[in-house]
Amino acid sequence: MDEAIQQFLSEKVNSFIKWDLVRFFHDTPHAKDTAPNIARYIGRDQTTVERELAALAQNGVVQAEQVAPDVTVYSLADDADTRQTIHRFMAACHDRNFRVKVINQVIQAMQFTPSHDF
């Protein structure tokens, strides 16, 4: 695993839900949607998705745009380096051994407990 992807994982995609969100935006790079709709699409809890999207926005992986007082839409960041890192990460995920390493890293970073929301 190269250093850029290692850093991307440890600093930005450090949960399984963030991994799902990155995959969602990688697969649909022109998507611009609300957290509730994205949560339904990826089959995850809305509150957790909202929290994880906010963290990804803070880290520059996605962009958050408030379009109404209580409505925020999220889209993939425009930054070319971020998009390239996401592309390389998702391409590497086709390798089973890479996925196993990433899963182990995410679990260790989360200090996994049975009650942890992942």
Q: What's residue 71's pLDDT?
A: 95
Q: What's residue 44's pLDDT?
A: 96
Pick the CATH number of 3-110 from 3.40.50.2300, 1.10.10.10, 1.10.357.10, 3.40.50.12780: 1.10.10.10
In this predicted structure, the answer to whether residue 105 has a pLDDT above a threshold of 90 is: no
Over residues 15-45, the pLDDT tens digits come to 999 999 999 999 999 999 999 999 999 999 9
Higher pLDDT residue, 111 or 50? 50
Please state the domain extents for the chain.
Answer: 3-110
The amino acid that residue 53 corresponds to is L
Give the separation between CA 38 and CA 77, rounded to whole angstroms.
16
The amino acid that residue 52 corresponds to is E
Q: What's residue 112's pLDDT?
A: 56
Q: Is 9 helix (H, G, I), strand (E, B) or coil?
A: helix
What is the percent of the chain where pLDDT is above 90?
71
